[in-house]
C-alpha cells in the first residue's frame, strides 16, 4: 500500500506528533512518501490560469506541483495535516490546494482519484480545527474523493506537546491509534466506493463539459473529458 502525507507545516509540533501516531501502524507494510509545506511547494499560484487553459505542465511551479501530483495519483491513502491558523488551514496548505484547481471536477479530475481514501488531521487550541479541515476537504471532495475521514482536535490547555497534561496526550494518542486501526482495516482491502454526491457532481460537470466541447472542440477541459470517454458512457469509477 502507498501512502502520501502532505504536512501543512514543517514544524515538528502537535500536528506532526498526531500524524506520526497515525502512521505508526502503517510504517512496517506501507510505502510512505511525505511532503512538507511550504518547503515542497514554496510558491503561490499567480492566477495565470495556464494550468486550466493550456495544461498543468505550463504552470510556472509545475516542477514542484507535478512531483506531488504523481505521488497523489499513485497513492492508496492520502493524508493531509494542518494546525488551525486563524481558524483555517495554513496558508502553505491553501497555496498548494490552489495549484491543484485544474484537478477539480469542473476541469480535469484524475480518474484515479475517485476510488481513493483520504484522512485529514487538524487541531487547534480552542476553535478552528473544523474549519481548517473543511478547507482541505472541500478540495479533496471536488477532486472526486468520496471516502474522507476527518480528525479534528482541540488542545484546550497548551499548544506544545510536551506541556500537555499526560491525560490529554494519552487521549490524543488513543484517538490516533483508533483512527489508524480503522483505516488500516479498509485500506488493505478493495478501493473505496463512490458516493451519490460525487456521482451527481460528476454528472453536473459532464453536462457542462458536453456543451463546452460542442461549442469549442479545442477547449482543453472538454477535450480531456472527451478523451476519457466521459462525454459518452465511460465513468471514472467503473473499471
Ligand X SMILES: Cc1cc2nc3c(=O)[nH]c(=O)nc-3n(C[C@H](O)[C@H](O)[C@H](O)COP(=O)(O)O)c2cc1C
Residues forming the site for ligand X (CB under 6 A):
9, 11, 13-16, 83-87, 123-128, 155, 159
Please report how close the Cβ of residue 100 comes to ligand X at its closest, in angstroms. Answer: 23
65 vs 89, which CB is nearer to ligand X?
Answer: 89
Please report how close the Cβ of residue 7 comes to ligand X at its closest, in angstroms. Answer: 9
Q: Nearest 5°: CA angle at 108, between 102 and 114?
A: 110
37 vs 103, which CB is nearer to ligand X?
Answer: 37
14 vs 103, which CB is nearer to ligand X?
Answer: 14
Please report how close the Cβ of residue 127 comes to ligand X at its closest, in angstroms. Answer: 5
16 vs 202, which CB is nearer to ligand X?
Answer: 16
User: Which single residue is written with the C-alpha cell 500524524?
Assistant: 19
Please report how close the Cβ of residue 4 comes to ligand X at its closest, in angstroms. Answer: 19
CA distance 39 to 164: 28
Please report how close the Cβ of residue 156 comes to ligand X at its closest, in angstroms. Answer: 9
Q: Quick check: helix, strand or coil at residue 25?
A: helix
Query: Would you state the cell numbers that stand for residue 32, as one nine-digit string?
Result: 510512505
Contact 179, 187 (CB under 8 A): no
CA distance 157 to 163: 9
Q: Which residue is nearest to ligand X (CB)?
A: 13
Question: Which residue in 116, 122, 176 sits closest to 13, CA to CA?
Answer: 122
CA distance 98 to 27: 30
The helix/strand count (H/E) of the chain reads as 8, 5
Please report how close the Cβ of residue 122 comes to ligand X at its closest, in angstroms. Answer: 8
38 vs 236, which CB is nearer to ligand X?
Answer: 38
For 182, other C-beta atoms within 10 Å of its C-beta total: 12
83 vs 144, which CB is nearer to ligand X?
Answer: 83
Output phi, psi for 29, to 5 deg: -110, -10
Question: Which residue in 93, 89, 96, 92 sits closest to 130, CA to CA?
Answer: 89
Amino acid at each position: 500500500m502507498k501512502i502520501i502525507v502532505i504536512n501543512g507545516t514543517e514544524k515538528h509540533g502537535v500536528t506532526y506528533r498526531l500524524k506520526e501516531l497515525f502512521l505508526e501502524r502503517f510504517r512496517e507494510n506501507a510505502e510512505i512518501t511525505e511532503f512538507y509545506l511550504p518547503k515542497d511547494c514554496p510558491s503561490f499560484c499567480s492566477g495565470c490560469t495556464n494550468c486550466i487553459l493550456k495544461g498543468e505542465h505550463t504552470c510556472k511551479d509545475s516542477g514542484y506541483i507535478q512531483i506531488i501530483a504523481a505521488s497523489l495519483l499513485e497513492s492508496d491513502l492520502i493524508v493531509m495535516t494542518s494546525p488551525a491558523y486563524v481558524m483555517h488551514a495554513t496558508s502553505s496548505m491553501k497555496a498548494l490546494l490552489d495549484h491543484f484547481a485544474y484537478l477539480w471536477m469542473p476541469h480535469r479530475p484524475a480518474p484515479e482519484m475517485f476510488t481513493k481514501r483520504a484522512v485529514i488531521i487538524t487541531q487547534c487550541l480552542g476553535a478552528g480545527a473544523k474549519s481548517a479541515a473543511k478547507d482541505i476537504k472541500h478540495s479533496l471532495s471536488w477532486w472526486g474523493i468520496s471516502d474522507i475521514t476527518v480528525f479534528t482536535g482541540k488542545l484546550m490547555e497548551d499548544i506544545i506537546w510536551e506541556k500537555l497534561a499526560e491525560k490529554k496526550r494519552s487521549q490524543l494518542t488513543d484517538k490516533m491509534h483508533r483512527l489508524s486501526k480503522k483505516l488500516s482495516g479498509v485500506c488493505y482491502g478493495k478501493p473505496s466506493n463512490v458516493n451519490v454526491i460525487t456521482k451527481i457532481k460528476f454528472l453536473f460537470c459532464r453536462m457542462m463539459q458536453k456543451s463546452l466541447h460542442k461549442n469549442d472542440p479545442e477547449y482543453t477541459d472538454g477535450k480531456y473529458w472527451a478523451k476519457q470517454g466521459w462525454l459518452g458512457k465511460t465513468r471514472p469509477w467503473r473499471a
